């Protein structure tokens, strides 16, 4: 059986989201955006994040879901608390993760970025397993897209300041970036 992903992330479970489209002609990803998400907010586990990205979130399952169940959003991948990786959108496609955004005076970050969600929140530290998986898949992505360098990895909070706060102060940028520079 063939996969709908032309460029799969190794070891990821594939859950194809309809919330994507083609990148502008001739556009190759050159930015990696780190996000966080938890559904319901500050709660972990369960199918809710995948359900949101797959347009099947039940608005009656939690009061918060009634506000968001109609959103058409996705990310290329999600790293769960235990380090498991789910892939929703093929890397060469445009996932709908960044919204209104700008990096180095270039708007519409979805056009040229890859979005990775971490199951988490701004205030709760991320797990060791998440950092390990994030480092692994980041290296893989950088291998496919050499224009994505450590200097071209950013947080949602940096490309949508005032609108977004993730991955937040609980994300250890120094730890993450140092593991990219020092394989071991």
Active-site positions read 117
Distance CA 183, CA 170 (A): 23
Angle at 22 between CA 16 and CA 25, to 5 degrees: 155
Q: Where are the alpha helices (DSSP H) in the chain?
A: 48-53, 65-68, 128-144, 156-159, 173-181
Tokens of 66: 């009634």
Torsions phi, psi for 89 (to 5 deg): -135, 140
Question: Which has the closest alpha carbon to 97: 5, 167, 162?
Answer: 167
Per the DSSP assignment, residues forming a β-bridge with 155 are 34
Burial class (CB in 10 A: 0-12, 13-18, 19+), 108: middle
């Amino acid at each position: 059986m063939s996969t709908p992903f032309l460029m799969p992330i190794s070891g990821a479970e594939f859950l194809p989201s309809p919330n994507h489209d083609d990148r502008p002609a001739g556009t190759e990803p050159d930015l990696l955006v780190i996000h966080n998400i938890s559904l319901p907010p500050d709660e972990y586990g369960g199918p809710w994040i995948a359900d949101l990205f797959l347009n099947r979130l039940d608005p009656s399952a939690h009061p918060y879901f009634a506000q968001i169940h109609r959103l058409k959003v996705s990310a290329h991948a999600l790293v769960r608390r235990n380090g498991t990786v789910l892939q929703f959108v093929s890397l060469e496609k445009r996932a709908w993760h960044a919204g209104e955004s700008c990096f180095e005076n270039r708007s519409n970050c979805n056009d040229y970025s890859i979005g990775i969600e971490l199951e988490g929140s701004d205030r709760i530290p991320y797990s060791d397993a998440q950092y390990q998986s994030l480092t692994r898949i980041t290296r893989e992505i950088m291998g496919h897209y050499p224009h994505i360098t450590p200097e071209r990895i950013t947080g949602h909070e940096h490309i949508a300041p005032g609108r977004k706060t993730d991955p937040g102060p609980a994300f250890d940028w120094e730890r993450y970036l140092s593991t990219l520079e020092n394989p071991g």
